[in-house]
Structure 1
Amino acid sequence: MKADLEWSNTVYFAGFVAAFVMFFFIQAFKIPSASMHNTLLEGDHLFVNKAAYGFRIPLTNIRFGQFEEIKPGDIIVFRFPAKDRQQQNCGGSQYGKDFVKRVIAMPGDTVQVINGRPWVNGKELPQQDYELYEDIERTPYFAEEDKAHYQQVWEEHQLDNYLGLYLRDSFGPVTVPENTYFVMGDNRDNSCDSRFWGPVPRENIKGKAWFIHWPLNRVRWIK
């Protein structure tokens, strides 16, 4: 019985440590779609660094011990910004699902998408090696006349229900609200992202995509 108790204590302690690490430091995540090609491929298994942007106190939005600031270019994992199961985006309900995208713009930035290319604060962003575009005909850019209504519908995560695929090539301008972020997939023509369903609240962000650990031929740090 003594040996059984010692074994039980060891298993319990190991389970407790593993649960503690997974809850506060690391989350395992599997890439479900092609929206982040070629940076992340379907089936990639990765670790998310939950401590990078600060430890979160359970059942609150309070964080502490932040190691780094969120910045443009970061790949983040977040809970989809849907408040109820009835909200429809990307062809269905995304309530409670985890998404992975790249940060494009920060709170207070003005964002447009012209001919599929993102513009921030009136300047086209330099194209990066990780961006993937298809050779397709683009919808010409057209700025909406009622900018206030456009901004409101976008912030309410409903813009794709009005304009649909049109938003892939022609979007904005909108201003990213305080404590939220504008994100896009690296596979720009095949990503349902902030163009379609709005900004990502700070409290929805779970952490920073950190390391691909499976499959073995894909093992690498994520940039």
Structure 2
Amino acid sequence: MARKKGLTFYEKEKKINKSTIHEILSTLFYCGVAVFLAFVLVFSVGMKISMVGVSMEPALYNGQEVLINRFIYKITSPKRGDVIAFLPNGNQNSHYYLKRIVGLPGESIQIIDGYVYINGERLPEDEYDKMADYGIAGNEIQLGSDEYFVLGDNRNMSEDSRSGNIGAVKKDTIAGKVWFHLSCDEEGTGFVN
């Protein structure tokens, strides 16, 4: 009988042993645990909110979705410059407002000639437009021990603590700190300053 020309390959039968099955099952188990923990972490600490309006442009845009860290203010206090989510006057029927903290508890706030003054000293804000509407902050406002004064970054298109129907934001109405926005900014980082 003549031999066939060319190469021939014989497949070796692969056997599945106990150690391979154990390795596959343990990998699947650990992946499942990791997904479960990530799910619990995001839903217990985080919250997704959509930006409504143009008051925070250029940092946040209308319709942009952001993640809120609901846990951070349980261990630290809000700081000047933080972008927070809050319900105005604790109104559960309202949408969450997203604004930047300007005034801290115990400080006095006033808007003079379109600029924010804290305890009588002008807040350096070169990147923000001069405000045309002073609202209730045209007169000095003394913040309580649990109150914050917030403004939108787009100062002339923002309903914020200058508005009588919002006023100072109480700490217990703050849902959390804006931590990450889901559509990227110009640098592509997704983080909010």
Equivalent residue, structure 1, for 2:59 = 39
Per-residue deviation, 1:132: 4.0
**Is 1:179 paired with 2:146?**
yes
Q: Is the 8 A contact 1:116 1:188 kept in 2?
A: no
Per-residue deviation, 1:43: 2.2
- TM-score, normalised to structure 2's length? 0.71
Equivalent residue, structure 1, for 2:81 = 73
The C-alpha deviation readout for 1:26-78, integer Å capped at 9, x for no partner, is 11111111001111111221111111112xxxxxxxxxxx1x32111111111
Equivalent residue, structure 2, for 1:167 = 135
106-115 vs 21-30, greater mean Cα deviation: 21-30
The C-alpha deviation readout for 1:105-157, integer Å capped at 9, x for no partner, is 1111100011221111001110143x2458xxx5xxxxxxxxxxxxxxxxxxx
Shift >4 Å, 4+ stretches: 14-17, 215-219
Equivalent residue, structure 2, for 1:194 = 161
Residue aligned with 2:102, SS: strand
**CA–CA separation in structure 1 for the residues paired with 2:175 and 2:52:** 17
Q: Is the 8 A contact 2:111 2:117 kept in 1?
A: yes
**CA–CA separation in structure 1 for the residues paired with 2:124 and 2:160:** 19
**CA–CA separation in structure 1 for the residues paired with 2:118 and 2:134:** 19
Structure 1 or 2, whichever has the larger Rg, is: 2
Q: Is the 8 A contact 2:114 2:134 kept in 1?
A: no
**CA–CA separation in structure 2 for the residues paired with 1:16 and 1:29:** 22
Contiguous gaps of at least 5 residues in structure 1 = 1-10, 55-65, 85-94, 139-164
**CA–CA separation in structure 2 for the residues paired with 1:120 and 1:212:** 29
Residue aligned with 2:54, SS: coil
**Is 1:206 paired with 2:175?**
yes
Q: Which one-letter code corresponds to 1:182 in the other structure?
A: F
Residue-pair matches, total = 159
Equivalent residue, structure 2, for 1:221 = 191
Equivalent residue, structure 2, for 1:156 = none
Residue aligned with 2:139, SS: strand
**CA–CA separation in structure 1 for the residues paired with 2:162 and 2:78:** 19
Q: Tell me which of the two structures has the higher relative contact order, counting C-alpha pairs closer than 8 angstroms and 6 or more residues apart.
A: 1
Q: Which one-letter code corresponds to 1:167 in the other structure?
A: G
**CA–CA separation in structure 2 for the residues paired with 1:70 and 1:215:** 24
- TM-score, normalised to structure 1's length? 0.62
**Is 1:52 paired with 2:66?**
no
